[in-house]
Chains A and B, each alone.
Chain A
Amino acid sequence: MLINHLKIAWRSILKNKLFSFINVVGLSIGLCSALVIGAIIYFDFSFDTFHKDKDRIYRVTSLFKSGNDEFTNRGVPVPLMQTFKDGVSGVEEVAPFMSANFSKVENKSQEVILKNVNDGIFADEGYFQLFDYQWLAGNSQTALSEPAQVVLTKNTAAKYFPKKSPTDVIGSTLVYNDSINVKVSGVVADFEKNTDFKFTDFMSMSSAKMFGEKEIATSDQWNNTSSGDQLFFKVREGVDMAAIRSRLDALAKEHKNTAAWAADDERLFVLQSLPEIHFGGKSGDYPFNNSDHVASKTVLTSLSFVALFLLLLGCANFINLNSAQALTRAKEIGIRKTLGSSKKQVVRQFLGETFILTVLATLLSLLMAPFLLQQFSEFLPSGIDLSVLYSMQGILGIILLVTIVSILSGFYPAFVLSKFRPVAVLKGQFTKGDKGTRLRKTLTVFQFVVAQVFVIATMLVTKQLHFVMNKDMGIKTEAVAYVRLPWNDKSEVKKERLFSQMEKIKGLSKVSWGGNPPTSNNISSTILTYFKEENEMHQETEMLWGDITYLKTYGIPLLAGRERLNDSVKEYIVNERFAKALGFQDPAEVVGTFLKMDSTQIPVVGLMRDFNQRSLRSDIKPLALTGDWGNSNYSSFNAIHFDLGNNTDNWNETIEGVEQAWASVYPDQEIQVEFMDELVEGFYRRERSTVQLLKWATGLAILISCLGLMGLVVYTTERRVKEIGVRKVLGANLAQLNILLCKEFLILVAVAFAVAVPISWYLVQEWIESFAYKTELSWWVFLASGIGMAVIAMAVTGARTYKTANINPIESLRNE
């Protein structure tokens, strides 16, 4: 019976090649996106799931509330670590650690030098108690008990000590940051499964002081939170988490910042469970300082919806075509029933057919999946691949998916077909009263709604992206770039030497000292105090540091007042927003006022035009520019900004000149020239990946929908061949016939458009809310997408209807 079913299923698939093709292709596109997106989602959910007692491990993070603003920091103040080490009731194990960047690690005996090692941490034995590493050499209890001890992962050990086994490495000396001798006290195996704990050098916590880092035991810096200072702990089994939370609340209250300006601010310690860490903090920050990827649940949810809709589109195709085809299969079913087949057997047979097609589609989609994944590789985390699909779980998942899809798309057609009464079919009384029509129309409308929503969303998101990327930020972004000086080489002499060498490069029209560029992701802010009619006004202000040519280099005009007298005089230039925030009707009036920072009175000497300090998601904020006088320990000028001029031809030459100058001053350091236009583009990386994803989803949705439409058109025109013949005999011309045939489908597309417009308007509206600067949701975008869709639908239907309308009536009317 089964073989017979499969056989006839296979033959009828071959017989209806076009329909089978449409079915398989439509379904495989849906399945392929489901598989790829499934793999992506699985990847992000597979992080750090292997730790022992992972449900009892938590991280403490900080949440700051200031007015209406909330922001998070994945770190904690260092003294909190000590509080936990001293013991908190309900806590079983504590693992504090601090991120560490080492500028240089040297193995003198084998002459191995590695620069910029950024995956280090300062940790104590608590870390290895909490996280279960496999020890290849050394003792987990004592490896980190003394200063100047380091535990390495196996891969790192192999890098530092080529060709040596883990046990040989123990006791060897490494030189960190040129002068710190450290003994290797242990080697652990790297985590093999997906993890955010990608640390390689575990320096003993007691060495922190040698590296100029904070000391846990003595620090009282409760109001200093660095994202690298991490606190993990494991609770006892069955412990009341509320008790630990209230203890943290009490600690936060006890150590509240007492400075006057912080009176309205609030800080909370928030717990994050281990599996949550991969999804970042509340403001979407990365799991750790050295992480290069943070998973976003919103993104994953949108992805799942995209996959779901593409899959449903494929299924809709299937139902549509198969129930439409029911007529041609009716005779077969009639015969089968007279030969004794029961309803159940017919259902089973058609489900079997669906199953075969689904399996075919799955095989096809597995072949296509790598190509689809490649399309997204640009904005996917590295290390993501499709191997999970071929694992035990993956195969089970695929089987489940195939079964669900088969049932979903096969059940209705099978049900319709099995209901045929043989006598009616065999008598040929069947041609009228086609009950599935409404369902098929609904499904087609559904397909086109999805496709249309994708089209509109893509157009609007692209429009917004184009808008923000091309909007005048208020500063010069073309041909302006900067180099940041090495953070671990503070020599003033070298700095000056590089600057004077760069000034000599002919191609550079302007060269300035400065801190951050005017627009960037790195913002520092401070509180400036202004006395307004005897009242103190505290204004949170973003700070920029630059010399007296900084504004010119970035093309920011002064609107009132003057430039500062020199690079290190205590004077401010503020922006218009700042003046408005202080309550000046005419911003120019701000010039001449005094601002107090800490205890110094500083005059405002100039007013600069507003510009966007960040991506256009954020609004312009009050801002002050000043010179290099703030801190005697280090210079605020840590970058050299320059203008490459208008002559694009010798840019390459000029950049080479900059590189040479750099190499002559900092031969050991690599130069990184940051171009402003690239920086601005980088703000919208996520948006660009959204556009990329949407484009693909749109393309695929249109493709599937059009396949479905084509199938439906073929079916309908075939059924109406006779009617067309009669109409032609009665004198209808080609155009009339085409309109007659197309009308029915265009109405569906129009209905879909009407449904899609409000849905897509709502969705895009939600998305665009995150921008301070929004493009208009213009009506013409909607109209254009609707017309575009209608044209595509016309093209798909037109080809077929034209052919049908052209059939000679003698042919179509001859039989019967």
Chain B
Amino acid sequence: MLLQLNNIFKWVTTGGQRIFLLKDINLEVEEGEFISIMGPSGSGKSTLLNVIGMLDTFDEGEYNFMDESVHSLKEKHRSNLYKQYIGFVFQSYHLLDELTVKENLEMPLIYKKIKGSERKAMVADMLDRFNIVGKKDLFPAQLSGGQQQLVGVARALIASPKLILADEPTGNLNSKQGEEIMELFKQLNEEGVTIIQVTHSEKNAEYGSRIINLLDGRMV
């Protein structure tokens, strides 16, 4: 088992009233799964994804990731944990504007303190695999949205994470570009990477092996 959420609650207090963002979430994810999280706006999809990605905290419950209990870890350990095992893909790509494609890909490796020569090899590998060798010296602003997201996915993958978290990865793309990204995810999943995506689109959700529906912070 890759990760397990037990009775997760998350709330904010406004005017003395608790508003629940996540309510009693129980979820087990096995390695190799491809899960789609669906639900209307404000139902807590992104929050759940961020909790799983350890970017956000929760107020109650237990979270075990690869037999580590995340809820009792210090921030530094948590960051080490996700640095090692999780890759993120965002709706608006979130590439670093000041860096070229190649340098963007290199960034996570630097933070993992991988040696320069090794980094080069891995980046070259990834550029090859995603067919973007010709674009390696361009800056994000010089790429189309689809290409940027491709780089985004490549960057998420480069450190060979066990889990990829994607927050509406096709939200800013046209249907053709979106389809390509989803095909890519499917292929990656077949190669053994676990994927959890948040999506609005029924069609994209179909790519997953399991669909989780959220409403007002609760799994339905």
CB of B23 within 8 A of chain A? no
A-B interface, 6 closest residue pairs, ranked by CB to CB distance from nearest:
A340-B83, A340-B111, A11-B98, A423-B55, A339-B108, A423-B56
* Chain A residues near B96 (CB-CB < 8 A): 8, 332, 335-336
CB pair A15–B94 under 8 Å, yes or no, is no
CB pair B55–A422 under 8 Å, yes or no, is yes
* Chain B residues near A422 (CB-CB < 8 A): 55
B162 CB → nearest A CB, Å: 14
CB of A338 within 8 A of chain B? yes
**A335-B96, A422-B55 given; 14 more Cβ-contact pairs under 8 Å:** A1-B113, A4-B106, A7-B99, A11-B98, A12-B98, A15-B98, A332-B97, A336-B96, A336-B111, A337-B79, A339-B88, A339-B111, A345-B111, A426-B94
Given contacts A423-B50, A427-B46, contact A8 B98 (CB under 8 A): yes
Separation of A345 and B95 alpha carbons in the complex (Å):
18
* Chain A residues near B53 (CB-CB < 8 A): 338
CB of B110 within 8 A of chain A? yes
* Chain A residues near B94 (CB-CB < 8 A): 331, 334-335, 338, 426
Separation of A426 and B96 alpha carbons in the complex (Å):
13
CB of B155 within 8 A of chain A? yes
Separation of A793 and B98 alpha carbons in the complex (Å):
34
- Please report which residues of chain A, range 418-442, place their CB below 8 angstroms from some CB of chain B when the two chains form the complex: 421-423, 426-427
CB of B107 within 8 A of chain A? yes
Separation of A336 and B155 alpha carbons in the complex (Å):
12
CB of A500 within 8 A of chain B? no
Given contacts A338-B55, A423-B50, A423-B56, contact A332 B110 (CB under 8 A): no
Query: Nearest chain-A residue to B165 (Cβ)?
Result: A338
A806 CB → nearest B CB, Å: 27
CB of A139 within 8 A of chain B? no
18 A-B residue pairs with CB within 8 Å: A7-B99, A8-B99, A12-B98, A15-B97, A15-B98, A335-B94, A336-B96, A338-B94, A339-B108, A339-B111, A339-B155, A340-B79, A340-B111, A340-B112, A340-B159, A341-B111, A342-B79, A421-B55
Q: Mark B66-93, 1 if CB is under 8 A from A, else 0.
A: 0000000000100100110000101000
Separation of A500 and B31 alpha carbons in the complex (Å):
120
Q: Mark A700-743, 1 if CB is under 8 A from B, else 0.
A: 00000000000000000000000000000000000000000000
B104 CB → nearest A CB, Å: 9
Given contacts A4-B110, A345-B111, contact A426 B90 (CB under 8 A): yes
Q: Which residues of A contact B (CB under 8 A)?
A: 1, 4, 7-8, 11-12, 15, 331-332, 334-342, 345, 421-423, 426-427
- Please report which residues of chain B, range 102-134, place their CB below 8 angstroms from some CB of chain A when the two chains form the complex: 103, 106-108, 110-113
* Chain B residues near A345 (CB-CB < 8 A): 111
A450 CB → nearest B CB, Å: 34
Query: Nearest chain-B residue to A332 (Cβ)?
Result: B96
Separation of A422 and B49 alpha carbons in the complex (Å):
13
Separation of A784 and B46 alpha carbons in the complex (Å):
59
Name the residue among A331, A332, A335, A422 with the largest chain B CB count within 10 angstroms: A335
Query: Nearest chain-A residue to B93 (Cβ)?
Result: A335
Name the residue among B96, B103, B108 with the largest chain A CB count within 10 angstroms: B96
Separation of A46 and B113 alpha carbons in the complex (Å):
49
A437 CB → nearest B CB, Å: 24
Query: Nearest chain-A residue to B90 (Cβ)?
Result: A426
* Chain A residues near B82 (CB-CB < 8 A): 340
* Chain A residues near B107 (CB-CB < 8 A): 4, 336, 339
Given contacts A338-B55, A422-B55, A427-B46, contact A1 B98 (CB under 8 A): no
Query: Nearest chain-B residue to A335 (Cβ)?
Result: B94
CB pair A342–B76 under 8 Å, yes or no, is yes
Query: Nearest chain-B residue to A14 (Cβ)?
Result: B98
- Please report which residues of chain B, range 34-84, place their CB below 8 angstroms from some CB of chain A when the two chains form the complex: 46, 50, 53, 55-56, 76, 79, 82-83
A432 CB → nearest B CB, Å: 14
Separation of A332 and B99 alpha carbons in the complex (Å):
11
Separation of A635 and B90 alpha carbons in the complex (Å):
101
* Chain A residues near B50 (CB-CB < 8 A): 423
Separation of A332 and B140 alpha carbons in the complex (Å):
13
- Please report which residues of chain B, range 125-175, place their CB below 8 angstroms from some CB of chain A when the two chains form the complex: 155, 159
A58 CB → nearest B CB, Å: 62
A433 CB → nearest B CB, Å: 14
Query: Nearest chain-A residue to B56 (Cβ)?
Result: A423
Name the residue among B53, B95, B106, B111 with the largest chain A CB count within 10 angstroms: B111
A252 CB → nearest B CB, Å: 73
Separation of A332 and B50 alpha carbons in the complex (Å):
18
B54 CB → nearest A CB, Å: 10
Separation of A331 and B96 alpha carbons in the complex (Å):
9
A353 CB → nearest B CB, Å: 11
Q: Which listed residue (B46, B90, B103) contacts A4, Cβ 8 A?
A: B103
* Chain A residues near B111 (CB-CB < 8 A): 336, 339-342, 345
Separation of A803 and B107 alpha carbons in the complex (Å):
39
Separation of A331 and B140 alpha carbons in the complex (Å):
14
Separation of A427 and B90 alpha carbons in the complex (Å):
10
Separation of A38 and B112 alpha carbons in the complex (Å):
45
* Chain B residues near A7 (CB-CB < 8 A): 99, 103
Query: Nearest chain-B residue to A340 (Cβ)?
Result: B83
Query: Nearest chain-A residue to B53 (Cβ)?
Result: A338
Separation of A4 and B104 alpha carbons in the complex (Å):
11
* Chain A residues near B155 (CB-CB < 8 A): 339
Separation of A538 and B90 alpha carbons in the complex (Å):
97
* Chain A residues near B46 (CB-CB < 8 A): 427
Separation of A273 and B130 alpha carbons in the complex (Å):
79
B68 CB → nearest A CB, Å: 16
B65 CB → nearest A CB, Å: 15
B40 CB → nearest A CB, Å: 17
Separation of A332 and B76 alpha carbons in the complex (Å):
20
Query: Nearest chain-B residue to A427 (Cβ)?
Result: B46
Query: Nearest chain-B residue to A5 (Cβ)?
Result: B110
Q: Which listed residue (B76, B90, B110) contacts A1, Cβ 8 A?
A: B110
A50 CB → nearest B CB, Å: 51
Separation of A336 and B99 alpha carbons in the complex (Å):
12
* Chain A residues near B110 (CB-CB < 8 A): 1, 4
Separation of A11 and B100 alpha carbons in the complex (Å):
11
Query: Nearest chain-B residue to A11 (Cβ)?
Result: B98
Separation of A338 and B110 alpha carbons in the complex (Å):
13
Name the residue among A7, A336, A337, A426 with the largest chain B CB count within 10 angstroms: A426
* Chain B residues near A1 (CB-CB < 8 A): 110, 113
* Chain A residues near B103 (CB-CB < 8 A): 4, 7
Separation of A426 and B56 alpha carbons in the complex (Å):
12
CB pair A332–B98 under 8 Å, yes or no, is yes
* Chain A residues near B113 (CB-CB < 8 A): 1
CB pair B99–A340 under 8 Å, yes or no, is no
* Chain A residues near B106 (CB-CB < 8 A): 4
* Chain A residues near B98 (CB-CB < 8 A): 8, 11-12, 15, 332
A564 CB → nearest B CB, Å: 89
* Chain B residues near A4 (CB-CB < 8 A): 103, 106-107, 110
CB pair A338–B56 under 8 Å, yes or no, is no
* Chain B residues near A11 (CB-CB < 8 A): 98-99
A529 CB → nearest B CB, Å: 89
Separation of A426 and B108 alpha carbons in the complex (Å):
17
* Chain A residues near B90 (CB-CB < 8 A): 426
Separation of A335 and B107 alpha carbons in the complex (Å):
10
CB pair B108–A340 under 8 Å, yes or no, is yes
Separation of A1 and B111 alpha carbons in the complex (Å):
8
Separation of A571 and B219 alpha carbons in the complex (Å):
119
B22 CB → nearest A CB, Å: 14
Separation of A341 and B110 alpha carbons in the complex (Å):
9
CB pair A338–B88 under 8 Å, yes or no, is yes
